[in-house]
Amino acid sequence: MAAFILRRLLSTLPVLLFVAVFVFLILRLAPGDPAALIVGDMGTEADIARVRQSLGLEGPLPAQFLHWVGELLRGNLGESYYFKTGVTELIAQRLEPTLSLAAFTIVLAVLIAVPLGVIAAARHGGWLDRALMGFSVLGFSVPVFVIGYALIWVFSLHLGWLPVQGYSRLSNGVGPWLSQLVLPALTLSLVYTALIARVTRAAVSEALTEDHVRTARAKGLAERAVLMRHALANAAVPIVTVIGIGIALLIGGVVVTETVFAIPGLGQLTVDAVLSRDFPVIQGVILLFSVVYVLINLLIDLSYVLLDPRIRY
């Protein structure tokens, strides 16, 4: 068991190393001298040389990489060209909206998708089953921003139930925070819901064909208990796996949703950074998102032991 956890932890190292090398190369391969960009038009050759020195831009690439990783491990992601402040501080400021949106979306998607998938599997071929399959194809096809604008059009402009755009910090009260987050979270959760519901339906359908389910029914167990205790419990591994894989989809969606709803989070920071060619910020955000994605999937792999007692490493 401990050996498995250790092996799984070690196997993420090459992936993280690859991500680090790629992110490092973004800045080095991008056209233009970062030192000249920081100093600006008024700088002298001496200024540029000094900045190069302080950024660790001297010497061969592997040495530069080691310097960069060293700074990284101390929490220093470099300095934004545009804001002239540390990338770590910039990210910290923008974390709350993005975390709120992502957490709200995951909760919403799981609460909607899992029951839908279970019911669809229980009534295989019924109207809800077919509606769900149709909805999931639609969910994969309609782009996030089209859904977002369609929802704004209906709920904010026509019905006037919810605010159009913006974000209210949690410190300003839970009410405004929730009402500002409902539409973006609904928008973002659609594709995620489609994905999870589809996999839940498939996994529960498969579990329902197994012998122990037949036994449970034969001994007269209520259908509800059969579904929950015998089918859903056995379908937990694929469902949890797809929730983890779907995080990638969610991260891409966050960038778009924040732009549509004018939420000042990490997604908007990314887009602004690309538009102003602020490479240290681009590096920081991509590194953060990728590491979070890798770590969540690591945790999910480790959780299999809890979800399925048959799995013993």
Residues at the contact surface with other proteins, assessed by CB under 8 A: 14-19, 22-23, 26, 29-31, 137-138, 140-146, 149-150, 152-153, 157, 164, 202, 247-249, 251-252, 255-256, 259-260, 270-271, 273-275, 277, 279, 282, 285-286, 289-290, 293-294
Minimum CB–partner distance for residue 51 and other proteins (Å): 21
Complex with other proteins: residue 119 or 216, whichever CB lies closer: 119
What does the alpha-carbon distance between residue 245 and residue 254 come to, in Å, rounded to a whole number? 15
Minimum CB–partner distance for residue 50 and other proteins (Å): 26
Complex with other proteins: residue 92 or 137, whichever CB lies closer: 137
What does the alpha-carbon distance between residue 5 and residue 302 come to, in Å, rounded to a whole number? 7
Complex with other proteins: residue 119 or 285, whichever CB lies closer: 285
Complex with other proteins: residue 14 or 220, whichever CB lies closer: 14
Minimum CB–partner distance for residue 72 and other proteins (Å): 16
Minimum CB–partner distance for residue 101 and other proteins (Å): 15
Minimum CB–partner distance for residue 41 and other proteins (Å): 21
Complex with other proteins: residue 201 or 230, whichever CB lies closer: 201
Minimum CB–partner distance for residue 125 and other proteins (Å): 12
Complex with other proteins: residue 153 or 313, whichever CB lies closer: 153
The residues pairing with 79 across neighbouring beta strands, listed in sequence order, are 86
Complex with other proteins: residue 100 or 136, whichever CB lies closer: 136
Chain centroid to Cα 107, Å, comes to: 13
Minimum CB–partner distance for residue 218 and other proteins (Å): 26
